[in-house]
Amino acid sequence: MKTIAVTGADVSTAWLAACQAMSGTAPVAYHTVVRIEHPAAENRAIRSAVDKLLAAEDLQPAETVANTIFPAAIAAASPDHLELARRYLAMLPTLRRLSPGNACGTYFGRLVAFPGPEGPVNQLDAVITRLRRETAKKGSGTGPLTACYEAGFTDTPIAVPGDGVGAVALPVRAPGRDNGLLGFPCLSHCSFQLDRSGTLHAMAHYRSHLMVERAYGNYLGLGRLMAYIASQAGLETGELTVTAGYARLDCRGRLSTLLADSAAADAA
């Protein structure tokens, strides 16, 4: 079984390192781990090359993919996360109707209206509210609760006593509803870890990943989501780790040119 574990300074270099690690005779890997030290940052040259590659393959731009996880433009024009959720949900029926890829919904739609047993659950609000409450305890003598907020495949976060670090999880996949073997949602869950330095870290897990068609946009969207949550909770943005049970290096023909150009630039 081929597996990879790479680290990059930003979204672009981490994605490129993952693709380079997967290049070779076998275009698939299992249990992949990609760590991004600064998930809100990109390398402009690599991003430009990715956009050209996606356009040449007639695939969705990285920005479009990123917006399914976090709608950055709507967030920038919204005063807070509650208004962001309201505006997005008002637009969601149109997004689902206009784009076949969104027919089953979007990841951000699941984060602000997860299909719980008693109705939609705004997980984004729950996470930000909890982080704000715990962060406010800093300097009180007790500090943020040393607790783990784990949801997994359930509808709402469950608090479990922990030691030193807090974690908050956002489920995406709905048991009993998302029974398809392929397609949405490949992203299973997002979890956020709060350390006492006031820094928010995150981990996301995918059941499967197409490295060119989806991965760059996914990393970009996850980094923006993480940075937004940190900002709303008054925290610093830490590291993002993305794992995938199965990953495939697609579009290998044109990608090989990008990888070769990068290797030549590194050697110069």
**Nearest alpha-carbon partner for 240 in 207, 184, 191:** 191
Looking at residues 165-186, what average pLDDT do you find? 48
Cβ-contact 11, 36 below 8 angstroms: yes
- pLDDT tens, 129-162? 888 888 887 665 555 543 333 322 233 333 333 3
CATH number, domain at 151?
3.30.572
- pLDDT tens, 49-95? 999 999 999 999 999 999 999 999 999 999 999 999 999 999 999 98
The pLDDT value recorded for residue 160 is: 32
Q: How far is CA 38 from CA 31, 75, 266, in A?
A: 22, 20, 20
Cβ-contact 223, 39 below 8 angstroms: yes
Separation of alpha carbons 176 and 258, rounded Å:
41
Query: Total structural domains in the chain?
Result: 1
Alpha helices in the chain (DSSP H): 11-22, 44-56, 62-69, 72-76, 81-98, 107-112, 123-135, 216-232, 252-267
**For the chain, what is the mean pLDDT?**
82
Terminal CA-to-CA distance of the chain, rounded, Å?
34
Separation of alpha carbons 156 and 123, rounded Å:
7
Contacts of 91 (CB under 8 A, 6+ apart): 74
Copy the structure tokens of residue 158.
């469950």
- pLDDT tens, 216-268? 999 999 999 999 999 999 999 999 999 999 999 998 888 888 888 776 676 55
Domain that holds residue 95: 5-267
